[in-house]
Amino acid sequence: MKRILVIHGPNLDLLGEREPAIYGRITLKQINNALIKIAKRRKVNLKIIQSNHEGDIVELIGKGKKNKYSGLLINPAAYTHTSVAIRDAILASGIFTVEVHLSNIYSREEFRHKSLISPVAKGIILGFGSRSYTLGLEALLDLIES
C-alpha cells in the first residue's frame, strides 16, 4: 500500500478560528477527514502531521525515503516564504511533492508572493480553500501512479 506524508505547517492548527475571512471556517480536523476519505477510496495510507516547528518538519521530510513515503502533500504555511531548510529537505528526499495553500498567495501581501518550496515541488495548488488539499492529494496520487 502506498504511503503519503501530509504536513500542515505553522498555525494551521488554528484553522476555523484564525482569520476566517482569509482561511474560512473549516477546521484542520475537517480537512484531514476529507483527505482520509480520498485515501481510503484510492487505497493509500496517510501519515498526517501538523507542526509549528521547522526542525520537526525538516526531520519528517528527511526521513521520507527511509519511511517509504511515495509522496508528500505539504502546506508549509509561513515557512513557504522563509525556509531554505524545508526546501532542501524536499529536494534531498527525492519524493514526489505537491505544495498546497488555502489562499491565493499571489493575491495577498507582496512578501507572500515568493515560494521557496514551489521550485522543488512537482506542482502547486492554491486559492481553493480546503479544496486545495483534496485537489492536491488527488494530483499527487495521479503523479505517483503514472
Catalytic residue among 8, 79, 101, 133: 101
- Give the residue among 45, 29, 66, 52 at the shortest CA–CA distance from 137: 45
Q: What pLDDT does residue 59 have? A: 97
- DSSP-derived pairing of the beta strands 44-50 and 96-101: unpaired
Query: What's the structural domain count of the chain?
Result: 1
Question: Within 10 A of 22 (CB to CB), how many other CB atoms are there?
Answer: 11
pLDDT, tens digit (0-9, with 9 covering 90-100), for 29-56? 999 999 999 999 999 999 999 999 999 9
CA distance 70 to 5: 8
pTM for the whole thing?
0.93
Q: Transcribe 54-66 into DSSP letters.
A: HHHHHHHHHTTTT
pLDDT, tens digit (0-9, with 9 covering 90-100), for 54-106? 999 999 999 998 999 999 999 999 999 889 999 999 999 999 999 999 988 77
For residue 17, the enclosing domain spans: 9-145
* 17, part of any domain: yes
* 100, part of any domain: yes
CATH number at residue 109: 3.40.50.9100
* 30, part of any domain: yes
- Give the residue among 107, 109, 98 at the shortest CA–CA distance from 132: 98
Q: Are 58 and 89 in contact (CB under 8 A)?
A: yes
* 4, part of any domain: no
User: Is 101 tagged catalytic?
Assistant: yes
Catalytic residue among 8, 23, 69, 133: 23
